[in-house]
Chains A and B, each alone.
Chain A
Amino acid sequence: MRVSGLLHLAAVLSLAVAVEAVKREDFKTCEQSAFCLRHRRFAEEIAQAPGWPSGGGGSGSGSGLSARSASPYSVVDGSVRLEQHTLVALVSHKDDQVPLRFEVSFLASGTVRVRAQEEEPLAPRFDDTQRYTLRDEGRALPYALLEDLRLTSTTAGGAAVHTVNYTTTTGDGAGALSVRITERPWSLTLLRNDKPAIQLNSRGFFRFEHLRSKPDGDVPDGEWEETFRTWTDSKPRGPESFGLDVSFAGCQHVYGIPEHASPLSLKSTRGGAKDAYDQPYRLYNLDVFEYEIDNPMALYGSVPLMLAHSAEATTGVLWLNAAETWVDVAHEKTSTIGSLFRREEPAVVTHWISEAGVMDVFLFPGPGVPDVYKQYAELVEQTPLPRDFALGHHQSRWNYLDEADVLSINDRMHEHDIPYDVVWLDIEYTDGKRYFTWDAAKFPAPAAMQDRLARDGHQLVVVIDPHIKRDPEYRVWAEANDRGFFVKTADGAGNFQGWCWPGDSAWIDYFNPDAARWLGEQYGLAKFNGSTASLFVWNDMNEPSVFNGPEISMDKDLQHHGGWEHRAVHNLYGMLYHQATANGLRARQSPALRPFVLSRAYFAGSQRYGAIWTGDNAADWAHLRASVPMILSNNVAGMHFAGADVGGFFGNPDAKLLTRWYQLGVWYPFFRAHAHIDTKRREPWLMGEPYLTHIRDAIRERYRLLPYWYTLFREASLTGMPLVRPMWVEFPGEKSLFAEDKTFMVGPAIMVAPVTDPDPMLPVEVVFPLQENWYDMKTHEMYNGPLTRQISAGLGDMLVFARGGSIIPTRERRRRSATLMRRDPFTLYVYVGRTGTASGKLYVDDGESYDYEGGAFIERELSFAKARLVSRPSARTASPPSAAQAAFSKRMAAVRIERVVVVGLRNPLTRATIRENGDERTVELGYRGAKVDAECVIRDPAVRIGNDWEIVLS
């Protein structure tokens, strides 16, 4: 804002406080990040067009197999050889003598890994991202056996081409995969059934800045020093960035690379398409105040995983790099030489640019969505099973003032019959923002307060941030300081000092394993005064946020353990902190109980340590809408346990917006209401009626469906599949749904169409896909897909539909918290599909320990066909049962199915015969709900959840 003249002074003063928008100037554009600009310009030169791929003929428009780019990089003659599971090649630029060593490795699952760096780098490049991200630190990846790989080399059109054919254990494509490497210029294509799926450097954008000595005299701008606003990055290592184009042939949609407040299907950032961004998507964890919607700016977390999808196949790419990374995306039509005529085939071309580290790229061939997640999860692991309470309703505010305030939230929740599990404390509970301490005036007896909450099954979460107040009297600072655990200045001589909530602070360096362990120890119940086993943790500000640093973060030339620059590790910092906390909580009890830690910053692998959320959103309808694609994108990228602040962090939602937000928020995997300190209080009972009732109803629906959610988490923990799913994940052949990001699926069985408009009369367009029945979960009204309907939703209504053919487990007793439901009976809903069948799963364990790893769980496959409902043990249930499993089954022996509701029966039936443990008994059937006469209720079959049983309707 620029205002001059005295007359405007008053306006300046009043407007200055009213402005609410991201301060764009605080954050870099690609043009302000020298390496990004260098690579982007290079790409334009290669494509011979500014803002490729606007065409203009030349090499840019042909990326088919036989087309050649203008890339100056080629494979060194005779350097290609196969060693074990790895194909090695040297690649060099035509104008220099610095060969790059390429390693192309093959995993048994079909995944291809491509690594590149100088054959003999002047100094080591940071290569530990794999250690922090990959399963078992990446030491024992399931590589393919040499005998499964066949290398053939040919010459085509004067250029040597090497092809590796290999077999895979994934999907239906065994034996159909191959990787083709062209020597001059180099390019790599992953083919399925001889059709290109993923191509590297087909556009020739590959550019690798080898490490070099600083030249005497003038150096190019931005290579050895770079200034942004008032901060100067000393860049002692000089330029070391690299970029690569990755193309997805036959695809029109790519997804993932969170976190951005942008649509699910990534938009073009190149090529001048209508509605395109002019900046690449940026991956650099940042604390962005009041972020903008529909913008590729970097936000709090980064997961460099991208999925590409077409009706034929799904593939993926993991760009394993934790330095600042930019990704350009262009959707284009590519001409391919067909048998007789040219035809247009779409492709998405992406250009990945990272500032430091080694190039390490994983290509996931799919071909199905579950295959891609299997391939990703075998590398980066799945989301573990959370504590049961973590799936409940979380109530937070910056800040609940004191013990009385916290307990009054608890009491009001009970008084208004709103189930909830966790109440949260933001930074003000501490003694002067010294984490691990309590403000003694406001929280004189925190343990007693937690015990009071725990009596009714409630937990407390407190925020613990990574900045440590510089105060010699503060034990945590003094200990970390004595042991040298802080991040160091650029010269390595002293501790980096910056500003955050407590004022002058230092930051623990989690790259030092001793420091990470020490931080974990601070969570010991004896160490953290006032903590109990029902206290859990929220790690905020871990991008890291530094108020007086460049882009509100750390200077890139700061030194971490091992002498590595912050530049190379930035995006890992938040995850390592998250990990240290989760490990600390896990270690505070023996036997260990599952931790719960929420983090704001994240990276690929953070899903292993807890939940994340979309940071500081705002109380407006646009942010409500944006939460869906943001959470879906996170789920697409394996960050399953994700949520957005219900109600919006900044600003005051009106009662209507808040109601709608709860109605959507109960379908977020992580469901927390939170608010900024400047906002009005907005706990549900403050909204009055009818809002309170609507909000309570929505929250009760969440609790009713907790068994379904928990079962979904179980599946995700084994398969890596998202919890909340874009429509295309469930309907991979329905092209019209590929960009859909308003409606989404919760697991395979529930479709949610959020109401995100203030006008309740404005109908929501709901697409019921496939030849399947869909049932309104509240009224059980049936919709026959494929069908598009405009549905108006009254303020009390959620548009949520069960997919025909599903069996959904619920618990319908009204308890105060999830943990008080552990012994409750279940109600099964059988939504009969068009073929008269349905199936589902039910998973139950103790909700807190790791005993399930030893088999202490009940997992049932439920199926309904020919009017017969059967419960069988899952394939993962050991037979005969392990001791742990038997013990757990005994513990759950009293837990029964109290009701089965069968929806969508065509013929009225009157009797149910129940067979369990050789017994047979009969119960009558009731019908309820005058409107829908096809809703049949089996009254109290009383079958035990751990038993095999069947119910036959006649």
Chain B
Amino acid sequence: MRIARVGLLLAAAAAPSWAVRGMDPALAARYVAVDGQFACLDGSARIPFERVNDDYCDCADGSDEPGTSACANGTFYCANAGHRPGVLAAGRVNDGVCDYDVCCDGTDEWDSGAQCADRCGEIGARARAHEAQARAERAAGSARLAALVRGARALRARKERALAEKQRALDAGAATLAAAEARRDAAEQREQARAGRRRDAVARVAAARLRDVAAYRALVAAEARALHAHRAALAQLLRGVARGRNPDFNDAAAAAAAARYDDLAATRPRAVADDDVAAAPGDDEPADIEACCAAASRAAADRDAADEDAALLLQALRALRDGYNRNYHDLAVKAAVEALAPLEADRARAQAAAAQARAAADFAALELRVAEARAELAAIAPPPDADANDDDDVGSDAQAARAALWDLQAQQRSAQADADALRTLLHDTDLGPRDMYLAVRGDCHELDAGEYRYEVCLLDRAAQVETRAAGGSPARQSLGSFAGFGADHTVHRYAGGSRCWNGPERSLTASFVCAANVSVLAVSEPEKCEYHARIAGPFACDLPSEEEEDAADDDVVVMETTTTTTTVPDVAHDEL
């Protein structure tokens, strides 16, 4: 058997003279002629050795053409003396492009006319400097992370102690509560005896007047409810315009409507409250005449306020309807304008019904009789808790006992909530491997990106704030609240932010890259209202194992030399 090392088919000064162009030196033993033949590396065929690098693909695996672009699946090896070797896809050989990112020695363009000088000296040096810097950054990041988890260990211990302390206080509080309850019960027994006398007097008035007062209250309450509903519907329309309109359209009428909405929200919050209907006077009939009188007064005041609010809202919507620009096809504006007419008709019907109800009840006479009932009640001594300076101290005694109990209950509830929150944090919250996020949870970091400032509060929330607000307060959009980790603990998801016009709720995905200090590097919006943040921070750095960390306490150098062992975060978490 004759073994021959065949020289280059095509001259290339940079490569060792015995090499086949583009061949991985590790495979040199395979690129030898055996009986004048080359065996494809996958063993699929044997071809005459002169067909290696003859710019025609013979082997199914592309191995016969390591130095040309002939094989679709071929690869080209460049030695890159002065830097690390590279492997280039065959399609990039001799295509006229110096692929310095892979072949800094320029050997990929040996037959294309492209002049690719060897730049490995410069590129290699730059890469080494870059790698050294990255290594240093990673080491610093790991050290910082180690410090964080060390701190977290101590912090957790402190917090656990605090939790135990809180629990003890809660137990003690329970006993104090029981005593206060007993004191209140005694005081209330005394109070009830006194109240019985007054109750009889009021009952006499009630027997004669309750029907009138109840009828009056029901009428007024019904009117108030109707107005509440009307106001809420109008507010919803105007809110739809204020929040849903496309400000890019620059429609003056729509802008005015939105401004009016904001104005009302500031000066008459109830006018635009979205749970307003629930706050309307109910239809539960108070059996107690005094409560009934008070309810009637409240209902009347409520009705008058709602009426005023509704008038203002209606005015704003009518102005919009008459003034908006139809050509913009702003869906939000169109929806409001289209819904306005039916709403006005509904309101007219409700008013007619109210007038009819008043007539049927002979409202004026009824109002007079209610006034008389109020006068009669006023003549009876006020209830004991109405005046703290009452010389009869039985009532105030019970009042004080109740107040003391309430205070204690409130304290106890608050202490319970504190303890629960702390327990949830310590026992039911994913704080990353070895509590890496415990100490930094809620820390906020910002990026000023020209038009907007981005704010990410770790494991809490994210926001976008306009920086060039033209007068007034800068618009602030929530980009969501923390909604969990992504593929691993270096990806944070924030979701459920404010809704985009004609789009989804804003959300942000933060991906961490390893660095010692936390800083928001970049925020982009690759899809509408879906933000991506790149954040530097130690959380993406290698987390030294606890043993390493213990060693590191003694010798920092050791840690630096062992950072190549990767610690899988999940494993570390399990160890916790």
Residue ranges of A at the interface with B (Cβ–Cβ < 8 Å): 3-6, 8-9, 12-13, 16-17, 23, 230, 401-402, 404-405, 417, 441, 455-457, 499, 503, 547-549, 677-681, 812-816, 820, 823-825, 898-899, 939-940
Contact = CB atoms under 8 A, between A and B. Distances in A.
Contacts of B329: 23
Contacts of A404: 522, 524
Contact of A820 (B90, B95, B331): B95
A735 B419 CA distance: 84
Main secondary structure of the interface of A (DSSP, over half): loop
Given A405-B524, A456-B97, A820-B96, A814 B450 contact: no
B148 interface: no
A9 B236 contact: yes
Contacts of A820: 95-97
Nearest to A813: B69
Contact of B55 (A402, A457, A898): A898
A6 B233 contact: yes
A13 B244 contact: yes
Given A6-B343, A230-B326, A940-B54, A457 B97 contact: yes
B92 A816 contact: yes
B557 to A, nearest CB: 38
B53 to A, nearest CB: 13
Contacts of B97: 455-457, 816, 820
B328 A547 contact: yes
Nearest to A652: B527
A547 B327 contact: yes
A9 B451 CA distance: 36
A680 B69 contact: no
B334 A16 contact: yes
A681 B527 contact: yes
B237 A17 contact: no
Interface string B31-72: 000000000000000000000001110100000000001101
Interface in B85-108: 89-92, 94-97
20 contacts: A6-B229, A6-B342, A8-B339, A9-B233, A9-B236, A9-B343, A13-B335, A402-B524, A405-B524, A548-B327, A681-B526, A813-B70, A814-B90, A816-B91, A816-B97, A820-B96, A823-B112, A824-B69, A898-B56, A940-B55
Of B237, B244, B331, the most chain A CB neighbours within 10 A belong to B331
Given A401-B525, A441-B450, A9 B95 contact: no
Nearest to A896: B55
A356 B335 CA distance: 39
B56 A5 contact: no
B288 interface: no
B502 interface: yes
Contacts of B240: 13
A441 B328 CA distance: 29
A5 B346 CA distance: 8
B192 interface: no
A417 B339 contact: no
Contacts of A13: 240, 244, 332, 335
Contact of B325 (A17, A548, A814): A548
Contacts of A456: 97
A405 B56 CA distance: 38
Nearest to A23: B329
B488 interface: no
B527 A679 contact: yes
- Interchain residue pairs A-B with the least CB separation, the first 5: A814-B91, A548-B327, A4-B342, A16-B331, A820-B95
Contact of A441 (B72, B237, B451): B451
A23 B72 CA distance: 50
B528 interface: yes
A547 B248 CA distance: 12
Given A681-B527, A815-B91, A898-B56, 7 more contacts: A5-B342, A9-B236, A9-B237, A13-B240, A401-B524, A679-B527, A680-B527
A223 B526 CA distance: 52
Nearest to B74: A814
B328 A548 contact: yes
Interface string B227-243: 00100010011001000
B338 interface: yes
The interface centre, meaning the residue of A6, A417, A548, A681 with most chain B CB atoms within 10 A of its CB, is: A6
B250 A503 contact: yes
A481 B92 CA distance: 50
Contact of A17 (B89, B331, B451, B526): B331
Nearest to B346: A6
B471 interface: no
A816 B56 contact: no
Interface in B466-508: 502-503
A441 B325 CA distance: 33
A898 B70 contact: yes
Given A23-B329, A230-B326, A815 B95 contact: yes
A455 B109 CA distance: 14
Contact of B526 (A401, A503, A940): A401
A6 B70 CA distance: 72
B89 A814 contact: yes
A844 B526 CA distance: 40
Contacts of B94: 823
Contacts of A23: 329
Given A13-B335, A898-B55, A678 B503 contact: yes
